[in-house]
Chain A
Amino acid sequence: MKRQWLAIQAEFLKIRHSSIVWVSFIAFALAPLMGAIFILIAQHPEAMAQTGALAAKAEIMNFGSNWTSYLNILTQAIGVGGVLIFGFVSSWIFGREYSEGTAKDLLSLAVSRTKIINAKFIVYMIWCLTLAISNLLVGFLLGSILQLPPLEMGSLAPLLIYYLITTLLTIIIGTPIAFFAIWGKGYLPPLGFVALTLVLAQIIAAIGYGTYFPWSIPGLYSGAGGEYKELLNYLSYTILVGTGLVGYIATVRFWEKADQSN
């Protein structure tokens, strides 16, 4: 356990001073900011009518000036945007060792290769969870500034649980991206894979099979697909968790077994 803990510490040390950390937080914070704009539109429909497309979008989403609408949009940002941002995080954590030429220095050490990969997955999870919490805090701050009507604890708790579950589902589906980073030896192959999954998630969800496509499931669960959320079933979650497990196992096995000649 001590060895694993030291490997985690080393991973955290590696991300110190990396501008990519702050870039990810700033990019993800666009979601609560966008939500705040929708609240402003809902609060001042006449004044904000000039915003055109945004006002139309807020109307389509039946967006109200309240915490429920705001937390729902934050949840949808995790389920849809999180696939992109978390995928970006995963690509960077696992692909950087090849892009920066340091992978070979991780292979013949006292700490096992599996522990190094586990440390990376743990940092990935903590980073993504922190992104989600950060967005929530930014959302609470902006919501307070915009004086949203107070929400009772009984109503808040289920919204936060949805938010947390959506975050976990999105984190789980990021593990295959780690495999593509190690297999492809860099950032580009996993980022290409992320782009592909985003496109496929849209297409497959549009033709009605999103409930069985792992990268569509967090988005559907978040409510971004409206009533399609009701179609998610045990098989959907099994597919998602299975894909996450396969991604994890493939990453560990490839890192342990494959020739590392770069």
Chain B
Amino acid sequence: MNGGNRPSVIKTDGITKYFGTTTAAENISITVNEGEIYGFLGLNGAGKTTLIRILLGMIKAQSGRVHLLGAPLNKRFKRWNEIGYLVETPYAYPNLSVRENLEVYYKLRQLNQPQLVADIIQKLKLNKYEHTKAKVLSLGNQQRLGLAKALMHHPKLLILDEPINGLDPEGIVEVRELLKELAANGTTIFLSSHILGEISKIATRIGIVHNGQLIKELTTKELDDQLIRKLMVKTTDNFQAKNLLAKAGYNIYLNERQEIEISDTKAIHFPEMISKMLVEAGYPPKQVFLFTEDLEHYFLRTIRSNPS
């Protein structure tokens, strides 16, 4: 769970926030180390955006502390130019072009390298739309513009709320590769998404939030270990095959589709032994398939086991 010798870039300690009687965040403590991609998962209304807004100083927690880049987040915090962010739907000034929108943030971020605007337009493949007004951009290109605003100044920390919303498949792959490249170069990335499969492809660590509580936090390796795996077998005679495998000491379950499910580690690692045994016994397999639980299943299983 710790990042070895890497310094923590985000550290929250007991963050709690209520909106009236609604608990938006309850005692959330997380640490994200330099170069990590931290995926923050949760259903709508689970508290993801609330935590992101707290991290960005947009709303104040009732209790708890936040440190960003090693400095406490308070009114004297001065390191905003080392942070890039995208919160919820990316909006832009509708009557300004892509370039003009970026120039607004270039000035507000007090930057002094004019090339940065052209570079980020190039990087996010917005060249074709450079002089197009933001109000006529497609949702995907508005998302690219939002990412361009977040990335223009080469931040050390990126906080992204649903960064691939609205992107087409090609855009999703491009953004995924871009984020991986940034992380490889030392940028720390904190991102929330409801597209869980996408998170599993890029995150090095995952936090699951439910009803304002962080109910699980684990590395990609730990997640991999916790995913349910089973061998799904169909033969010419599933009932007899089931008895055969049970006698051989395998843990067997015949599911509602009359498939044999074998959850033994030995069977998962050596499915060819199962095939051989069935062939020799006269029940040749029609299907031997290694099922691995996807992140969606794991996520739902996790939150259902936490009724809070």
Contacts and interface: CB of A to CB of B under 8 A. Distances in A.
Interface of A: 2-3, 6-7, 9-10, 13-14, 16-19, 100-102, 104-111, 116, 259-261
A14 B87 contact: no
Which one of B59, B103, B108 has the greatest number of beta carbons of chain A within 10 Å? Answer: B108
Contacts of B103: 13
Q: Which 3 A-B pairs have the closest CB atoms?
A: A101-B91, A259-B59, A10-B107
Contacts of A116: 108
A28 to B, nearest CB: 21
Given A107-B57, A260-B53, A16 B107 contact: no
A226 to B, nearest CB: 43
Given A7-B107, A261-B53, 17 more contacts: A10-B108, A13-B100, A13-B103, A13-B104, A14-B104, A16-B100, A17-B95, A17-B133, A108-B56, A108-B57, A108-B58, A108-B85, A109-B105, A109-B108, A109-B109, A111-B109, A260-B59
Contacts of A14: 93, 96, 104
B65 interface: no
Contact of A111 (B53, B58, B89, B110): B110
Given A100-B93, A110-B81, A261-B58, A105 B105 contact: yes
Contact of A107 (B19, B56, B100): B56
8 contacts: A2-B110, A13-B103, A17-B133, A104-B58, A107-B57, A108-B80, A109-B108, A260-B58
A6 B107 contact: yes
Interface in B61-85: 78, 80-81, 83, 85
Interface of B: 19, 50, 53, 56-60, 78, 80-81, 83, 85, 87-89, 91-96, 100, 103-105, 107-110, 133, 149
A71 B149 CA distance: 48
A10 B149 CA distance: 14
Contact of A100 (B53, B85, B88, B91): B91
A175 B83 CA distance: 32
B81 A13 contact: no
Contacts of A16: 95-96, 100
Which one of A6, A14, A105, A107 has the greatest number of beta carbons of chain B within 10 Å? Answer: A105
A13 B107 contact: yes
A261 B18 CA distance: 12
Contact of A259 (B58, B87, B109): B58
A261 B45 CA distance: 13
A261 B81 contact: no
Given A101-B89, A260-B58, A260-B59, A108 B108 contact: no
A6 B81 CA distance: 15
B110 A102 contact: no
A105 B80 CA distance: 12
A176 to B, nearest CB: 24
Contacts of A111: 108-110
Contacts of A109: 80-81, 105, 108-109
Contacts of B100: 13, 16-17
A2 B112 CA distance: 12
Contacts of A6: 107-108, 110
B261 to A, nearest CB: 46
B44 to A, nearest CB: 15
A109 B104 CA distance: 12
Contacts of A261: 19, 50, 53, 58-59
Contacts of B133: 17
A7 B110 CA distance: 8
